[in-house]
Structure 1
């Protein structure tokens, strides 16, 4: 994976953020982290202190953010002409059919259940990043402000 790839992690659990970053420690990517949907919007739309933020090539989105923010964020991103082509990997502990349906109806690119064991978690994160950043044909995100 080329070093110019950038990942946005939208996750309210600092432990999971640390694990995602650790899983990708040997992958040449940079990161932004948003702890909630509002902060993710600030980063993606380059508002306030995030005016210089790089648009991500991949978003890992926790689907259980407070106040239902995950679904609204996904809806917003997939309706935005400049952001809709950024792959969004929903990452969650939920196995509920309703959540899976919701994610795909809102145009998530994939729905991943967080594995409970560390090796499986790392393989899932690495495999997803490898696929979206190196295997799948995607377009570079629009970098306008």
Structure 2
């Protein structure tokens, strides 16, 4: 089984403002993980699997933060591809979205998401959510790849 690059978090987010907010929140939370970004579902899949059968260009991230509403390939389809591929099926994936649709929550869990978090609107609440998420997924959670 391929090992994680233990310091990388993959953030899949198409909204530049939300992405900047996440980067600031990680910095303010003193989480020192490397952050990789993808602005649509296609880039996320390319990051994880390479293009057209290329060798994998990146080690697996320790955590994926995935928005649902993405251009090209939506987040739920990305999640489905992650769960259906042997290389990535056990990666921790957290949906981090503004969607309040109960249908999105239910479908995310049916597809195997590890957690579903609604993005707080207030920056301080967002920083707190990032801190708690980082503490749980990066410190407390036991990974199958260790």
Q: How does 1:33-72 map to 2 (within 5 A)?
A: 33-47=37-51, 52-66=57-71, 69-72=74-77
Q: Find the aligned partners of 2:55 and 2:127 in 1 and give their Cα distance.
A: 28
The runs of at least 4 aligned residues of structure 1 exceeding 2 Å deviation read 46-54
User: Which structure 1 segments of 5+ residues have no match?
Assistant: none
Q: How far has the Cα of 1:69 moved from its partner? A: 1.5
Trace 1:1-145 onto structure 2 (pairs within 5 A): 4-25=6-27, 26-47=30-51, 52-66=57-71, 69-140=74-145
**Superposed displacement of residue 72, structure 1:** 0.8
C-alpha offsets along residues 68-104 of structure 1, whole Å, 9 cap, x if unaligned?
A: 5111100000111110111111011111111110110
Q: TM-score, normalised by structure 2?
A: 0.86
Three-state SS of the structure 2 residue aligned to 1:112 is strand
**Count of residue pairs the alignment pairs up:** 139
SS at match of 1:66: coil
Contact 2:41 2:73 in 1 (8 A): no
Structure 1 residues 108-117 or 14-23, which shifts more?
Answer: 14-23
Q: Distance in 2 between matches of 1:68 and 1:43?
A: 14
CA RMSD of superposed structures (Å):
2.2
